[in-house]
Amino acid sequence: MADFESLEKKIDTLTQATKEGFVGVGARFTDLEKQITDLTQATAEGFVKVESRLENLEKHAGMVDQKLERIERNIDGQMQNHMALETRVTKLEQPVV
């Protein structure tokens, strides 16, 4: 009987150690799940910030495009005025017959 009691004691010790091991593993999984959740949240926040920044850059790029178009129109207008004046000067420089 002593052998059975010794065997039962070993089995109880092994069972207890296994339970404690699973509790430790469960705690590690809980920590890992929290880290994954934190990483997921930080990544989502990062994407929101990047998206907001890109939207602002697109707005600024649109404003720059508008200004460049306005400058181009002004240059075209100045070139037309210059060509008109040049035509007038050429006509004035022709000898009167």
Low-confidence ranges of the chain (pLDDT < 70): 1-2, 24
Residue 1 has a pLDDT of: 56
Q: Strand, coil or helix: what is 1? A: coil
Q: Write out the two tokens for 26.
A: 């469960």
Residue 53 has a pLDDT of: 95
pTM: 0.50
Residue entry with tokens 């994407």? 47
**DSSP-derived secondary structure letter, 94:** S
* Helix/strand/coil percent split, the chain, to 5: 95, 0, 5
Measure Cα distances from 55 to 10, 24, 60, 67 in Å. Answer: 67, 47, 9, 19
